Amino acid sequence: MAEGILETRNLKKWFTVRAGFLASLVSKKSDSYIRAVDGVDLEIKQGEIFAIAGESGCGKTTIARLIMRLETLTDGEIWFEGEKISVLNESKFKEYRRRIQMIFQDPYGSLSNNMTIGEIVAEPLKIHNVYTSLSEVEERVLAALEDVGLRPAEEFATRIPHELSGGQRQRVAVAAALVLDPVLLIADEPVSMLDVSMRGQILQLLLELRKKKGITLVLITHNLAVARQMADRIAIAYLGRVVETGVTKDIIDNPSHPYTKALVSVVPVPETGVQRERLLLTGEIPSPIDIPTGCRFHTRCPFAKDKCSVEEPELKEMPDGRQVACHE
């Protein structure tokens, strides 16, 4: 069994929605909260690819941003390599930020056109001040560009982002994350902006990095097909909580939470003549300001019982090792 590298315990992020001064005078309305992440426990193991999947608004991106400390925690703990990093002060945390890197969805927005590719990839080294000489910077930048397959690296280093295709830009983003030799890489929808033929290149690249450098990867995605291909284990999130987690293949081939079942059943497949039983949910995801009592999925669940509207189910371990948050 591989060792745990990152753990979150009861992770919570509530965003405050101010009632407004006048409204508070008139109606005694108080502030409300968007419970974007509402008690998430994850355990990510050394060297694995772990996917966090769900629809928009399920909190998957906020979880990633909390781990990177791009948002402040409302409650809970984050442990990384055996240390509780959620309580560290900013200067101490900077060391961890070097070891945990993130790549974002939009390779068109995340790279500055005022800088050359070489400068963009060198930037993290300068921010963290982890170089001894300029020639070392150059060496590491070129090595990172080589690693992500932008060859010849010398030539790419002098180019500007707008001269590159979307796939190449996303490679630059990966190179900028790799240049600090992170042990954990968080990829937030790394391929959803890319064309199908490019997606494979980036996914393949991420798989290679894991193989060659042993990097642990947290993959945030709404695309279950991508998760199925990439991830060893997966967590399905709904309204700020994990409803089911376990080995990806088990969960997607044989989902046990009603929400996972529904989600898997509606993913279209690029094949014809496949008969699948569909579980089409009606209605919309409730607002995270006004989360239903009991099980937060009970308002849309076709199997809901009386108990479900009262008592919130905890994640329970099943005989096959997966964890499911459902009373049934």
Partner 1 sequence: MSSSQIPGGQPLLKVSGLKVYYHISQGVVKAVDDIDFTVNCGEFVGLSGESGCGKTTTAMTLLKILPREGVIEGGQALFNNRDILSLKKKEINAFRWQEISMVFQGAMNSLNPVHRVINQMINAILIHEKMPREKAKEIALELIESVGIERSRATAYPHELSGGMKQRLMIALALVLHPPLVIADEPTTALDVMIQAQILDLFKQLRQRTSLSLLIITHDLSVLAETCDKIIIMYAGKIVEEAPTEILFNEPAHPYTKKLISSFPSILADKEIDFIPGNPPDLIDPPAGCNFHPRCDYVIDRCRAESPPLVDEGGHRVACFRRNEI
26-65 binders of partner 1 (CB under 8 A): 55-56
Please tell me whether residue 22 binds partner 1 under the rule CB under 8 A: no
Cβ pair 13, 66 in contact under 8 A: yes
Q: Does 145 bind partner 1 (CB under 8 A)?
A: no
Contacts of 65 (CB under 8 A, 6+ apart): 71
**Residue 272 found at the interface with partner 1 (CB under 8 A):** yes
Task: Among 90, 280, 306, 319, indicate the residue that binds partner 1 (CB under 8 A).
Answer: 280
Residue type, position 152, single letter: P
Taking the complex as a whole, the smallest distance from the CB of residue 149 to partner 1 amounts, in Å, to 10
Q: Report CA 234 to chain centroid distance, whole Å.
A: 11
Supply the minimum distance, in Å, between the C-beta of residue 59 and partner 1.
14
Tell the smallest beta-carbon distance from residue 299 to partner 1 (Å). Answer: 14
- Of the candidates 4, 47, 200, 292, which one interacts with partner 1 according to CB under 8 A? 200
E strand or H helix at 135, and its extent? helix 134-147
Task: Give the three-class secondary structure for 49.
Answer: strand
Q: How far is the CB of 55 from partner 1 (least distance, A)?
A: 4
Nearest C-alpha neighbor of 46 from the set 176, 232, 172, 228: 232
Q: How far is the CB of 15 from partner 1 (least distance, A)?
A: 19
Nearest to 295 by CA among 20, 12, 38, 84: 38
Residue choice 16, 24, 113, 165 for contact with partner 1 (CB under 8 A): 165
> Binding to partner 1 (CB under 8 A): which residues in 202-221?
203-204, 207
Q: Closer CB to partner 1, residue 26 or residue 196?
A: 196
Inter-residue long-range contacts of 124-128, CB under 8 Å, 24+ positions, other chains counted: 124/98, 124/176, 124/177, 124/179, 124/180, 125/179, 125/180, 128/94, 128/97, 128/98, 128/180
Question: In the structure encoding, which two tokens stand for residue 189, read together?
Answer: 């929808």
Residue 315 CB, nearest distance to partner 1 (Å)? 22
Binding mask 287-326 for partner 1 (x = CB under 8 A): ----------------------------------------
Residues in the interface with partner 1 (CB under 8 A) total 42
In the window 65-104, what residues touch partner 1 (CB under 8 A)?
Answer: none
The residues near 177 (Cβ < 8 Å, ≥ 6 apart) are 101, 102, 103, 124, 185
Cβ closer to partner 1: 215 or 231? 231
Degrees, nearest 5: CA angle 268-270-272: 95
State which residue, 121 or 224, has the beta carbon closest to partner 1: 224
Q: Return the beta strands (E) in the chain as ranges.
A: 4-17, 32-45, 49-53, 75-80, 83-84, 100-103, 184-188, 216-221, 233-238, 241-247, 316-317, 323-324
Residue 100: DSSP 8-state: E
Q: What does the per-residue mask of binding to partner 1 show for 225-264, with x meaning CB under 8 A?
A: xx-xxx------------------x--x---------xxx
For partner 1, the closer of residues 78 and 281 by Cβ is 281
Rounded to the nearest 10 degrees, the angle between the axes of helix 134-147 and helix 117-128 is 120
Q: What is the separation of C-alpha 76 from the centre of its chain, rounded to a whole number of angstroms?
A: 18
Q: Among residues 200 and 292, whose Cβ is nearest to partner 1?
A: 200
Instruction: Catalog residues that contact partner 1 under the rule CB under 8 A.
Output: 55-56, 165-168, 195-201, 203-204, 207, 222-226, 228-230, 249, 252, 262-264, 266-274, 278, 280-281, 284
